Structure 1
Amino acid sequence: MRSNTQSTLSIGSLYQFIKSALRGDAQDYTTGSIRRAVFLLAVPMILEMGMESVFAVVDLYFVGRLPDSRHNIQTVGLTESVLSIIYSLAIGISMAATAMVARRVGEKDSKAAAHAAMQSLWLAFGITFFVSMAGLLLAPQILGWMGAEPTTVELGTPYTRLMMGSSLVIMLLFLINGIFRGAGDASMAMKSLWIANIANIILCPVLILGLGPVPSLGLFGAALATTIGRGIGVSYQLYHLFSGKSLVKLQLDDWKPDWRIIKSLINIAAPGTLQFIIGSCSWIFLARLVAETGHAEASAGYQTAIRVLIFFLLPAWGMANAAATLVGQNLGAGQPERAAQSVIATAKYNTIFMAAVMFFFLFGANWVIGFFTHEAAVKEIGVQAIRIMSIGYIFYGIGMVMTNAFNGAGDTKTPTWINLFGFWLFQIPLAYVLAKWWQMGPLGVFIAIPVTETCITLAAWWLFRRGKWKTVKI
Structure 2
Amino acid sequence: MKPDLLNGEIRPTLIKMTLPMMLGIVSLMLFNVADSYFVSRLGTEPLAALGFTFPVSFTVISLSIGLSVGTSATIARLIGSGNASGARQLTTDNLLLTTLLMVLIASFFVLFIDPLFRLLGAGDTLMPYIHSYMSVWFFGSVFYVLIMVSNSSLRACGDTRTPAMLMGFSSVMNLLLDPLLIFGWGPLPALGIQGAAIASLIAWGIAAAAALANLYLRKGLLVLRIESLSVAMQHWLMVMKIGFPAALSNMMTPITAAIMTAVVATHGPEAVAAFGVGNRLESLSLLANLALSMTLPPFISQNFGRGQVVRVRAAYLSAVRFALLWQALIYIILFIFAGGIGALFSDQAEVINLISLWILIVPLGFGFQAVTFLTASSFNAVHQPMKAMRISVFRLFILYVPCGYLGNYLAGLEGMFVAFVIANMCTAAMAFRWMQRHLNSLNPLTTLK
The correspondence of residues 54-453 of structure 1 with structure 2, limited to 5 A, is: 54-66=30-42, 69-243=43-217, 245-246=218-219, 249-254=221-226, 256-257=228-229, 258=231, 259-292=233-266, 294-436=267-409, 438=410, 440-453=411-424
Instruction: Tell me the TM-score normalized by structure 2.
Output: 0.94
Q: What corresponds to 1:467 in structure 2? A: 438
Aligned partner letter, 1:211: W
How far is the alpha carbon of 1:319 from its aligned partner?
1.7
1: CA distance between counterparts of 2:412 and 2:328? 28
Distance of aligned partners of 1:425 and 1:472 in 2 relative to their CA distance in 1, 3 Å threshold: farther
Which whole-Å CA distance do the structure 2 matches of 1:368 and 1:255 have between them?
53
Letter in 2 for 1:250: L
How many Å separate the matches in 1 of 2:114 and 2:103?
19
1:52 aligned partner: 28
Aligned residue in 2 for 1:7: none
Q: Secondary structure at the match of 1:166?
A: helix
Cα deviation for residue 445 of structure 1 reads 2.5
Amino acid paired to 1:369 = G
Contact 1:242 / 1:249 at 8 angstroms: preserved in 2?
A: yes
Question: Quick check: 2:306–2:447 contact (8 Å CA) kept in 1?
Answer: no
One-letter code of the match for 1:277?
A: M
Deviation at 1:312, TM superposition (A): 1.7
Point out where structure 1 has 5 or more consecutive residues left out of the alignment: 1-24
Q: Is the 8 A contact 2:289 2:370 kept in 1?
A: yes
Letter in 1 for 2:182: I
Indicate if the aligned counterparts of 1:74 and 1:303 stay in contact, CA closer than 8 A.
yes
Q: TM-score normalized by structure 1? A: 0.89
In the TM superposition, residue 256 of structure 1 has moved relative to its aligned partner by: 4.1
| Structure-2 change in CA distance of 1:472 and 1:463 (3 Å) | farther
Aligned-residue identity in percent: 23
Deviation at 1:297, TM superposition (A): 0.6
Letter in 1 for 2:150: I
Whether the 8 Å CA contact 1:286–1:445 is kept in 2: the answer is no
> By how many angstroms is 1:155 displaced?
2.4
Does the CA contact (< 8 Å) of 2:140 and 2:205 recur in 1? no
- The letter of the residue matching 2:309 is P
Write the deviation string for residues 395-450 of structure 1: whole angstroms up to 9, x where unpaired.
Answer: 122223212211222221112111112211221112122223x2x33223222221
- Over the aligned positions, Cα root-mean-square deviation in angstroms equals 1.8
In structure 1, C-alpha distance between the alignment counterparts of 2:262 and 2:209, rounded to whole Å: 36
The answer as to 2:6 corresponding to 1:33 is: no
> How far off its partner does 1:303 sit?
0.9
CA contact (8 A) 2:376 2:389 kept: no
Which one-letter code corresponds to 2:222 in the other structure? L
Q: Secondary structure at the match of 1:242?
A: helix
Structure 1 letter corresponding to 2:168: W
Going from structure 1 to structure 2, the CA distance change for 1:48 and 1:472 (only over 3 Å counts) comes to: farther
Residue type matched to 2:414 in 1? L
Q: Can you list the C-alpha shifts for 1:184-226, whole angstroms capped at 9, x where unaligned?
A: 1111110110111111011001001111221111100000001
Q: In the aligned structure 1, how far is the partner of 2:47 from the partner of 2:333?
A: 24
CA–CA separation in structure 2 for the residues paired with 1:141 and 1:131: 16
CA distance in 2, matches of 1:89, 1:318: 17
Which sits farther off after the overlay, 403-412 or 202-211? 403-412
Residues 441, 134 of structure 1: alpha-carbon distance in 2 compared, 3 angstrom cutoff:
farther
| CA shift for structure 1 position 254 | 5.0
8 Å Cα contact 1:411/1:472 also seen in 2: no
CA 1:376–1:256: 2 relative to 1, 3 Å:
farther
Report the CA distance between 1:253 and its aligned residue. Answer: 4.5
Between the two proteins, the alignment pairs up a number of residues equal to 443
Deviation at 1:472, TM superposition (A): 7.5
Shift of the alpha carbon at 1:172? Answer: 0.9
Q: Deviations over 1:232-263 (max 9, x none)?
A: 111110110121x12x5222355644222222
Secondary structure of 1:89's counterpart equals helix
Residues in 2 aligned to 1:445 and 1:113: alpha-carbon distance in whole angstroms: 46
**Conserved 8 A contact 1:200-1:225:** yes
